């Protein structure tokens, strides 16, 4: 789950990381008022969860409160990469001398957190990594020890930070480590961390990604989720603990197990069709879950056929089939349904589904072909 | 013959009195697995499943009373890391964690701690292991596979069952089937298991089922080229997965252009490993 800039910086400030004076506004009057409090010279920043806000015109300077109001009106009326701007952050404009990057993320291959710094701040770090990897200094953190002071000094020295700033830089790195740790972040990033003309270090922009699996111990963070960034169907699916991702094809997929669900999407593509979604209904395939999943799949008007691919293991094929029938009685539809059951008691299951006028298939290839044909209007 | 679990496995179930724990303990016992003890803190002294399995308050007490040599964990995600530490500290050499949804920072600490202790963890977010005819540790359905000489290792659950069942239908059996789990940080990687299969005299060939995310498959390809003599067939799920989205498994995500199915397939093909276009092709490629 991604946090907005204003949310991330608010958390940074709680851990002693210096951020510019400023507040978030939902309308231009508020923006003007905040600009007045800050002395007039401000930066107005759209709060949307996409990259490239600046290039899209979503970050602009204002010289006085009137201009702040005008610019806020314009930015609050924008859509950036399909997302509506609902809030702007109004920050005191900083006189920037130098831009640095500082971030902590998970190094999956190394199985530990890694802290990265670069003298090339203010641009996308992935771009820096690609074009000038030598400008990024990385230090692995032992998760059982945490970030050590010497590691922060190594970073500061590694990016040729003037020695006068090492102490403050160390405090900021240590604060960012605690942010990462105590928020269960998978990314905590300051980009840029600037040195101002008054020789102060300031976190001008911030980004955080929180581990969804850890939200149970962060109810305050869970409430910050921005639902604009995901299709409604995905929000709905989360309520039923269904793992669902909307895609742009015509064949709805209902599968038990994430790996099998991906393999099912792949085989549809392999035979010339396009999956409408990824969906893992989990073990058991109870009629309640199947019904909820079916409603979510059918809420997509592009769906022309639905493919069920269920492996019956401990929950046997005939039980799964009865669950599907019960769900279909509840969710009426004319969309053709193709079912492939495999595993224990699959044959019994197929008979139950055939009797209910579902198209059945024995193999995955056969099921994909039948679903594609059904979606194209034949059967 | 087999790797990791067999007739000599004396199994402990952590979280034995929960719904999942109890249900799967019954399934494992029916299969013939020697489930000798369970742990649920606060329920020590009870017996479950008509007196078949004693329950203890802690892993240490269970270990002292029954001499278990493996543990399978069914406790909820918020308590799972602690359950793993408890098993490791009690000296259990093999820990299998079925639990899905453990926070990634918990797993980074767990993995680094276990590496220092030299304890093997399988999972989390995995279906466990099955050595057909000998032992089932976890949730893999017992009747979908027969004893044989194919070693199966996978990051997935039902997709693995699919492959085991397809093998069974053509008369092929498994030496051991190992689910390493779908999380980004896990205890055991493909290369660990491939090395064990290579050393197991009864495993003649292998099936590796990977998916998008991370670089475990690429490392496996390198390992196969450098260290393996037995043939391996691979399958990679997620060719149609959009970038930046977690496909059900926490670890199944293409990030910053890395972890794509295309890269993984290319890595295997570059070292001469055959990659199945779809799961149903696997039995044919094994012949």
DSSP secondary structure letters along A66-123: HHHHHHHHHHHT-EETTEE---EEEEEPP-EEEEEEEEEEEETTTTEEEEEEESS-SS
Asked if A259 lies within 8 A of B141 by C-beta distance, the reply is no
Partner B contacted by A265 (CB < 8 A): yes
> Which whole-number Å values give the CA distances from A296 to A147, A259, A303, in the listed order?
44, 20, 11
**pLDDT over 70 percentage in chain B:** 100
Partner B contacted by A245 (CB < 8 A): yes
Contact B128, B140 (CB under 8 A): yes
Chain A hits for B220, Cβ within 8 Å: none
Asked if B237 lies within 8 A of A342 by C-beta distance, the reply is no
Q: Mean pLDDT, to the nearest integer, of A165-191? A: 98
If one counts every other C-beta atom within 10 angstroms of the C-beta of residue B160, the result is: 29
C-alpha count within 13 angstroms, C-beta hemisphere, residue A34: 26
Contact A352, A325 (CB under 8 A): yes
- For residue B165, give the DSSP letter: H
Q: Tell whether the model's pLDDT for residue A145 goes beyond 80.
A: yes
Asked if B157 lies within 8 A of A184 by C-beta distance, the reply is no
Q: Tell whether the model's pLDDT for residue A283 goes beyond 60.
A: yes
The pLDDT value given to residue A379: 46
Q: Tell whether the model's pLDDT for residue A230 goes beyond 50.
A: yes
Q: How far is B110 from chain A (nearest CA, A)?
A: 9
Partner B contacted by A373 (CB < 8 A): no
pLDDT digits (tens, 9 = 90+) for A75-88: 999 999 999 999 99
Contact B195, B24 (CB under 8 A): no
Q: How far is B217 from chain A (nearest CA, A)?
A: 11
Q: Mean pLDDT, to the nearest integer, of A176-188? A: 98
Query: What tokens were used for A187?
Result: 């990314």
Contact A290, A281 (CB under 8 A): yes
Q: Tell whether the model's pLDDT for residue B1 goes beyond 70.
A: no
Query: What tokens were used for B247?
Result: 């496909």
- For residue B125, give the DSSP letter: S
Q: How far is A69 from chain B (nearest CA, A)?
A: 36
pLDDT digits (tens, 9 = 90+) for B111-125: 999 999 999 999 999
Coil, helix or strand at residue B61: helix
Q: What are the phi and psi torsion angles at A340 (to 5°)?
A: -125, 115
User: What is the number of helices (H) and of strands (E) in chain A?
Assistant: 13, 19
Chain B hits for A214, Cβ within 8 Å: 103-106
Asked if B103 lies within 8 A of A184 by C-beta distance, the reply is yes
Asked if A266 lies within 8 A of B159 by C-beta distance, the reply is no
The residue of chain B nearest to residue A256, with distances taken between CA atoms, is: B158
The pLDDT value given to residue A239: 87
Q: How far is A208 from chain B (nearest CA, A)?
A: 15
Inter-residue long-range contacts of A218-223, CB under 8 Å, 24+ positions, other chains counted = A218/A183, A218/A184, A221/A1, A221/A3, A221/A183, A222/A1
Partner B contacted by A130 (CB < 8 A): no
Work out the burial of residue B101: count CB atoms within 10 Å of its CB; fewer than 13 is exposed, 13-18 middle, 19 or more buried.
middle
Partner B contacted by A219 (CB < 8 A): no
In a mutagenesis test of the B interface, which of A147, A216, A263 is the best target, namely the one with the most B β-carbons within 10 Å? A263
From the list A217, A269, A364, the residue facing B240 with the nearest CB is A269
Asked if B241 lies within 8 A of A214 by C-beta distance, the reply is no
Gap between the Cα atoms of A291 and A278, Å rounded: 16
In a mutagenesis test of the A interface, which of B112, B162, B214 is the best target, namely the one with the most A β-carbons within 10 Å? B162
> Which whole-number Å values give the CA distances from A30 to A89, B46, B187, in the listed order?
10, 64, 51
Task: For residue A103, list its beta bridge partners.
Answer: A116, A189
Q: Quote the distance between the C-alpha of residue B200 and its chain's center.
A: 17
Inter-residue long-range contacts of B109-117, CB under 8 Å, 24+ positions, other chains counted = B109/A143, B109/A144, B109/B81, B110/B81, B110/B84, B110/B85, B110/B187, B111/A111, B111/B185, B111/B186, B111/B187, B112/A111, B112/A112, B112/A142, B112/A143, B112/A144, B113/A144, B113/B85, B113/B88, B114/B84, B114/B88, B114/B187, B117/B88
- For residue A349, give the DSSP letter: H
Partner B contacted by A342 (CB < 8 A): yes
Q: Mean pLDDT, to the nearest integer, of B39-62? A: 97
User: ipTM of this predicted complex?
Assistant: 0.94
Contact A64, A73 (CB under 8 A): no
The pLDDT value given to residue B33: 97
Q: Tell whether the model's pLDDT for residue B95 goes beyond 60.
A: yes
The pLDDT value given to residue A276: 97
Gap between the Cα atoms of B112 and B234, Å rounded: 29
The pLDDT value given to residue A269: 96
Rounded to a whole number of angstroms, the distance between the first and last alpha carbons of chain A is 41
The residue of chain B nearest to residue A364, with distances taken between CA atoms, is: B280
Helix axes B158-169, A258-270, angle to 10 degrees: 70
Asked if B112 lies within 8 A of A113 by C-beta distance, the reply is no
Partner B contacted by A112 (CB < 8 A): yes
Asked if A258 lies within 8 A of B78 by C-beta distance, the reply is no
Gap between the Cα atoms of A22 and A93, Å rounded: 9
Gap between the Cα atoms of A280 and B157, Å rounded: 12
Q: Quote the distance between the C-alpha of residue B8 and its chain's center.
A: 18
φ/ψ region of A203 (left if φ > 0, alpha if ψ in -120 to 50, else beta) reads beta
The residue of chain A nearest to residue B219, with distances taken between CA atoms, is: A109
Work out the burial of residue B123: count CB atoms within 10 Å of its CB; fewer than 13 is exposed, 13-18 middle, 19 or more buried.
buried
Chain B hits for A311, Cβ within 8 Å: 158, 161-162, 165
**pLDDT over 90 percentage in chain B:** 95
Catalytic positions of A are 101, 189
Chain A hits for B235, Cβ within 8 Å: 263
Question: B24, B202, B249, B278: which one is catalytic?
Answer: B249
Chain A hits for B256, Cβ within 8 Å: 126
Q: Tell whether the model's pLDDT for residue B14 goes beyond 60.
A: yes
Partner B contacted by A259 (CB < 8 A): yes
pTM: 0.94
pLDDT digits (tens, 9 = 90+) for B180-228: 999 999 999 999 999 999 999 999 999 999 999 999 999 999 999 999 9
φ/ψ region of A184 (left if φ > 0, alpha if ψ in -120 to 50, else beta) reads left
The pLDDT value given to residue A326: 87
Partner B contacted by A311 (CB < 8 A): yes
Chain B hits for A111, Cβ within 8 Å: 108, 111-112, 185
Query: What tokens were used for B51?
Result: 């007196």
Query: What tokens were used for B259?
Result: 């972890």
Contact B49, B26 (CB under 8 A): yes
Q: Mean pLDDT, to the nearest integer, of A30-47? A: 96
Gap between the Cα atoms of B167 and B204, Å rounded: 14
Q: Mean pLDDT, to the nearest integer, of A43-61? A: 94
Q: Mean pLDDT, to the nearest integer, of A45-64? A: 94
Partner B contacted by A131 (CB < 8 A): no
Work out the burial of residue A379: count CB atoms within 10 Å of its CB; fewer than 13 is exposed, 13-18 middle, 19 or more buried.
exposed
Gap between the Cα atoms of A55 and B262, Å rounded: 31
Gap between the Cα atoms of B242 and B202, Å rounded: 40
Asked if B162 lies within 8 A of A311 by C-beta distance, the reply is yes
Gap between the Cα atoms of A284 and B287, Å rounded: 33
Chain A hits for B279, Cβ within 8 Å: 263, 364
Asked if A261 lies within 8 A of B280 by C-beta distance, the reply is no
**pLDDT over 70 percentage in chain A:** 98
Q: How far is B278 from chain A (nearest CA, A)?
A: 7
Q: How far is A165 from chain B (nearest CA, A)?
A: 30
The residue of chain A nearest to residue B256, with distances taken between CA atoms, is: A126
Rounded to a whole number of angstroms, the distance between the first and last alpha carbons of chain B is 20
Asked if B279 lies within 8 A of A263 by C-beta distance, the reply is yes
Partner B contacted by A257 (CB < 8 A): yes
Counted across chains A and B, CB pairs separated by less than 8 A come out at 162
Gap between the Cα atoms of A159 and A165, Å rounded: 12
């Amino acid at each position: 789950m991604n946090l907005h800039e204003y949310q991330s910086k608010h958390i940074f400030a709680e851990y002693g990381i210096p951020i510019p004076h400023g507040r978030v506004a939902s309308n231009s009057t508020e923006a003007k008022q905040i600009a007045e409090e800050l002395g007039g010279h401000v930066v107005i920043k759209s709060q949307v969860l996409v990259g490239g806000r600046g290039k899209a015109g979503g970050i602009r300077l204002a010289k006085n409160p009137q201009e702040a109001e005008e610019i806020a009106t314009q930015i609050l009326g924008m859509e950036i990469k399909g997302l509506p701007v609902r809030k702007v952050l109004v920050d005191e404009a900083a006189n920037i001398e130098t831009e640095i990057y500082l971030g902590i993320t998970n190094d999956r291959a190394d199985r530990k957190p890694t802290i990265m710094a670069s003298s090339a701040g203010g641009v996308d770090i992935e771009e820096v990594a690609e074009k000038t990897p030598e400008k990024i200094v990385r230090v692995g953190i032992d998760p059982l020890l945490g970030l050590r002071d010497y590691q922060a000094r190594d970073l500061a020295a590694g990016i040729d930070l003037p020695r006068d700033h090492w102490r403050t830089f160390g405090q900021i790195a240590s604060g960012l480590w605690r942010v990462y740790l105590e928020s269960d972040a998978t990314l905590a990033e300051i980009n840029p961390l600037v040195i101002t003309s008054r020789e102060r270090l300031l976190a001008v922009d911030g980004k955080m990604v929180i581990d969804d699996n850890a939200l149970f111990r962060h109810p305050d963070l869970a409430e910050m989720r921005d639902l604009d960034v995901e299709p409604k169907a995905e929000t709905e699916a989360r309520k039923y603990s269904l793992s669902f991702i909307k895609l742009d094809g015509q064949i709805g997929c209902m599968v038990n197990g994430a790996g099998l669900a991906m393999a099912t999407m792949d085989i549809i593509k392999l035979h010339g069709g396009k999956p409408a979604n990824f969906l893992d209904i989990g073990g058991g395939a109870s009629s309640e879950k199947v019904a909820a999943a079916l409603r979510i799949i059918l809420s997509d008007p592009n769906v022309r056929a639905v493919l069920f691919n269920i492996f019956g293991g401990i929950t046997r094929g005939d039980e799964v089939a009865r669950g599907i029938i019960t769900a279909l009685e509840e969710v009426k539809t004319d969309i053709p349904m193709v079912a492939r059951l495999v595993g224990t008691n699959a044959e019994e299951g197929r008979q139950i589904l055939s009797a209910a006028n579902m198209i059945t298939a024995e193999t995955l290839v056969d099921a994909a072909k039948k679903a594609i044909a059904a979606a194209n209007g034949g059967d | 013959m087999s790797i990791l679990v067999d007739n000599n496995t004396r199994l402990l179930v952590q979280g034995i009195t929960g719904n999942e724990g109890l249900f799967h303990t019954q399934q494992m016992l029916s299969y013939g697995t020697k489930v000798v003890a369970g742990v649920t803190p606060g329920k020590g002294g009870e017996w479950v499943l008509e007196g078949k399995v004693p329950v203890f308050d802690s892993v240490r007490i269970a270990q002292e009373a029954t001499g278990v040599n493996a543990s399978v964990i069914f406790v909820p995600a918020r308590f799972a890391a602690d359950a793993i530490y408890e098993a490791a500290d009690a000296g259990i050499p093999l820990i299998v964690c079925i639990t899905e949804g453990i926070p990634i920072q918990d797993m980074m600490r767990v993995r680094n701690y276990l590496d220092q202790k030299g304890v093997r963890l399988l999972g989390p977010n995995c279906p466990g292991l099955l050595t057909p005819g000998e032992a089932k540790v976890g949730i893999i359905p017992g009747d979908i596979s027969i004893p044989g000489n194919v070693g199966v290792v996978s990051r997935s659950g039902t997709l693995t069952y699919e492959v085991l069942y397809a093998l069974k239908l053509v008369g092929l059996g498994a030496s051991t089937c190992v689910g390493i789990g779908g999380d980004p940080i896990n205890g055991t990687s493909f290369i660990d298991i491939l090395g064990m299969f290579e050393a197991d005299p009864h495993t003649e060939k292998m099936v590796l089922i990977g998916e998008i995310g991370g670089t475990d498959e690429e490392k496996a390809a390198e390992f196969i080229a450098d260290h393996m003599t037995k043939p391996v067939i691979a399958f990679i799920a997620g060719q149609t997965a959009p970038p930046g989205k977690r496909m059900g498994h926490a670890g199944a995500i293409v990030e910053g252009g890395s972890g794509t199915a295309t890269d993984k397939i290319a890595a295997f093909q570059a070292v001469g490993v055959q990659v199945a276009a779809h799961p149903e092709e696997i039995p044919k490629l094994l012949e």
